[in-house]
Structure 1
Amino acid sequence: MIKDIAIEKMKSASNYVITFLKWALISIIIGVVGGCVGALFHMSVNYANIIFTMHDWFVLFLPIGGIIIVAMYKACKMLENKGTDSIISSIRNDEKVPISLAPLIFVSTVITHLCGGSAGREGAALQLGGSIGSNIGRLFKLDEKDIHMVVMCGMSAVFSALFGTPITAAVFALGVTSVGIMYYSALVPCLMSSLAAFLVTRFAGLEPTQFAITVIPQTGVITILQTILISALCAELSIIFCTTMHYTARYLKIWFKNPYIRVVVGALAIIALTYLTGSRDYNGSGMDIIEHAVVGGHAKGWAWALKIVFTAITIGAGFKGGEIVPTFFIGATFGCVVGHLFGLNPGFAAAIGMIAMFCGVLNCPIASIVLSIELFGSKGFILFAIAAGVSYMLSGYYGLYSSQKIMYSKLKAEYINKDTK
């Protein structure tokens, strides 16, 4: 009897070891592939932004770039693909992620940045990673449940490669699909993938995204109240941003049913706005503006509002990229401006705005707190945690990704399984 129990325990232990080794192999492969693709994508987007900065008249080619993007998606029969929403949906159901999505989103995002469209890169990262993970999983002949996990591994890998935030990447992938539920079975695979991708980018000479905040105030009653106020305003701003993004895309499709006309109209609007504002601050990702706000404590008064308009038109018209870097831009510039008004150091207020906006539009408070440490260090950890908590609660059930589900109420311990607005 004792011998049988011992044998049974050894079999159980061996199952865990075999499963661990299986996922170590698969997740590291996904991480290395995702890291290589992510590094190449990172360099390509950066180079596209550099070219645009040197030759800002490239914005005049935005309509042509838009036509090329639409033509590519139409040729691959993916014109109706919902991008990041499709990747998130594939984790919850058996929807397949086509391999053609990876090169499509790669090239179209580079074109968008080269021609001065207002977009980020992380939406493309999630789509790249999801496509890579899904197809590597099918190469290994994994079942549907495991396919869901390798999609998360792929998302973690390329997100980590682009931002150099491996822990945030893993935690984000675990919680972005169903808010309130963490897929802990995927924790080790996602961590391994994101760390493998991170090491690949470091080997390639790419530095992680980090900001040196010059002043971090002491945690006191006044500072906490200032943080709560800025975070609450950012939560409301996140609702405005999400609503603007959704309605702009919806009405542009209603008004201009032909995707070629729609993308050209959007491009012409961006060109007009670019010359009307007399600035190139709102084209591209705007990472330099974010750095000016966080490190230098300087931002134009209405920069956040103009970035919302530029990004909503760019993405709504059919250009590709992402919304998270624009979210950072909006949060940083808005936080910097209101920080001046409320007596909080503007650079630190910009950092608070970034974390609060990130949490408000993505509904991922734990990932937001971890992100604050990887971007800014641990010194202001308590205040960043407060910012994430306040923004999460006050941003309601809004989000950038319509396929995201809020599983539990933000107001009480109640299961709701509600789609984001």
Structure 2
Amino acid sequence: MTSSNEQAADAANAALLADPFGPLRTKGYLMLLVIAAVLGVVLSAGAYGFLQLVDKFQHAVYTDLPQGLGFRSTPTWWPLPLLAVAGVLVALTVQYLPGNGGHQPAEGLKTHGGTATGRELPGILIAALLSLGLGAVIGPEAPLISLGGGLALYAFRLLKPDADARTQAVVAASGSFAAISALLGSPLLGAFLLMEASGLGGPMLGIVLLPGLLASGVGSLIFTGLGSFTGVSAGSLVIPSLPPVDRPDIAQFGWALAIGVAAALLGTAIHRLALGLQPRVNRRRLLMTPLMGLVTAGVAIAYVEGTGHPLTDVLFSGQSDLPQLLLHAGDYTAGALTLLVACKGIGYVVCLAAFRGGPIFPALFVGAAGGIAVSHLPGLPFVTGAAMGMGALVVAMLRLPMTSVLLATLLLGADGVTVMPLVIVAVVVCHVTASRLNRPAPVPAPTPGPVTDPGGGSVGTAAT
């Protein structure tokens, strides 16, 4: 029997299909746009503060603290105690505060399926700050999406506690739009990410899209203005001063195929290992999370000892260090880049399983390092190799092809337009290959059973 709530939802869906633009003509929708704009201002300012806090935290514990203790530079062993402490504190936060510290990043980038409640937000914030600030190989995007959506919904429920579930969902999505767009530096890129990840489509897409775009657009202006007002750079994903690249040729097309397949293999391995490790961490969280932190510190130390390059190449999300990797690609040998992919890849696996954050920026960094390493072979400029590596590894981890292409090309400014066809080829090849590598196990056919006639006698077996 259908409940009254289900009947009301069916009626609303039918009305939306009959007149997709009907809600846009209502007074309530105009008020929703005003609320979205206000939320965009507040949440973008919050996102700015969150990212600046993470940056200051990282600098304080990895630069200021060792200098304050009398070291001339950060000791190579320095990440060991910090990541062990990070593991203990994150484990305690996840275990004892509501909300599980946010979703587990080994499961991908979740943008739907429930918004964080007000009582869950502190745990998500604390777990993210500890993970990101103390060196875990994890990105800030997932916590920002959860915090943006959760804060928007919490504030809206205070203003309109009687709002229906659909309106609340639109407000939560607008908050997530504003927060993620502030990080990515582009309202359109944030919109693509959230739409593709949530699977929105049809008439509902337009209803959610306008408030979200308005919130993210207004928020991006505030985000940029805050950087100018405070004198602290808000950061940009666009990497300046890269050498121009030539138009794609047949050799580069061949490299796109090869990089797509290689990224599918690497991304599938990272994803499977992280998912396989996650239950073991969850069973003994207070022991395993610090241990995963020590593993991350260990591979960072091994990388420094083997190459002489800084710890930050392996630690952290890679968001701040990706421009330096590309601008100074000539300082890295093919061997150093290969070791970087291996060490940061291991750190990525264990941090996905144990810490809290998002999967995007480490995938961008590892993909760029792998693409630059391949560019030491003939026929591939390093900018083109980095772009294809970034797009391919992101799609291997997220399964969002349009977002992966945009992320990899918008990062490169003017060069991104030139290399976009090759990035598209690498992303498509990787996406198809990874999908085949991750095919679900076939469901066994039901065992034929006896068929009973109306009189109660068995007359044979059921056809399959």
Equivalent position SS for 1:395: helix
- Residues 190, 307 of structure 1: alpha-carbon distance in 2 compared, 3 angstrom cutoff: same
Q: Distance in 2 between matches of 1:133 and 1:398?
A: 38
- Give 1:38 deviation, angstroms: 0.6
Structure 2 residue 113 is the aligned partner of structure 1 residue 74: no
Q: TM-score, normalised by structure 2?
A: 0.74
Structure 2 residue 238 is the aligned partner of structure 1 residue 210: yes
Which residue number corresponds to residue 358 of structure 1?
A: 394
Which residue number corresponds to residue 366 of structure 2?
A: 330
Which residue number corresponds to residue 205 of structure 2?
A: 183
Describe how 1:339-378 pairs up with structure 2 within 5 A.
339-377=375-413, 378=417
Equivalent position SS for 1:380: helix
Which runs of no fewer than 5 residues in structure 1 stay unpaired? 1-11, 400-421
Residues 375-397 of structure 1, C-alpha deviation per residue, up to 9 Å, x if partnerless?
A: 22334333333333333222217
- Residues 32, 66 of structure 1: alpha-carbon distance in 2 compared, 3 angstrom cutoff: same
Q: TM-score, normalised by structure 1?
A: 0.81
Q: Distance in 1 between matches of 2:222 and 2:428?
A: 33
- Residues 133, 293 of structure 1: alpha-carbon distance in 2 compared, 3 angstrom cutoff: same
Which residue number corresponds to residue 344 of structure 2?
A: 307
- Residues 78, 376 of structure 1: alpha-carbon distance in 2 compared, 3 angstrom cutoff: same
Q: Distance in 1 between matches of 2:377 and 2:90?
A: 43
- Residues 235, 30 of structure 1: alpha-carbon distance in 2 compared, 3 angstrom cutoff: farther
Which residue number corresponds to residue 266 of structure 2?
A: 237
**Cα-Cα RMSD:** 3.2
Q: Distance in 2 between matches of 1:68 and 1:60?
A: 12
Describe how 1:10-409 pairs up with structure 2 within 5 A.
16=25, 18=27, 20-54=29-63, 55=66, 56=74, 57=78, 59-79=80-100, 82-83=103-104, 91-92=112-113, 95-139=114-158, 140-141=160-161, 142-178=163-199, 183-205=205-227, 206-212=234-240, 213-253=242-282, 257-277=283-303, 278=305, 280=311, 281-287=313-319, 289-298=321-330, 299=332, 300-317=337-354, 319-377=355-413, 378-396=417-435
Which runs of no fewer than 5 residues in structure 2 stay unpaired? 1-20, 67-73, 228-233, 439-464
- Give 1:289 deviation, angstroms: 4.3
Give the aligned residue type for 2:90.
Answer: I
* Alpha carbons 2:143, 2:357 under 8 Å: kept: yes
- Residues 276, 367 of structure 1: alpha-carbon distance in 2 compared, 3 angstrom cutoff: closer
- Give 1:174 deviation, angstroms: 1.0
Q: Distance in 2 between matches of 1:226 and 1:87?
A: 27
Q: Distance in 1 between matches of 2:376 and 2:276?
A: 32
- Tell which deviates more after alignment, 354-363 or 262-271: 262-271
Give the aligned residue type for 2:129.
Answer: V
- Residues 388, 189 of structure 1: alpha-carbon distance in 2 compared, 3 angstrom cutoff: farther
* Alpha carbons 1:226, 1:342 under 8 Å: kept: no
Give the aligned residue type for 2:25.
Answer: Y
- Residues 220, 87 of structure 1: alpha-carbon distance in 2 compared, 3 angstrom cutoff: closer
- Residues 273, 366 of structure 1: alpha-carbon distance in 2 compared, 3 angstrom cutoff: closer
Residues 391-419 of structure 1, C-alpha deviation per residue, up to 9 Å, x if partnerless?
A: 322221789xxxxxxxxxxxxxxxxxxxx
- Tell which deviates more after alignment, 383-392 or 160-169: 383-392
- Give 1:185 deviation, angstroms: 3.0
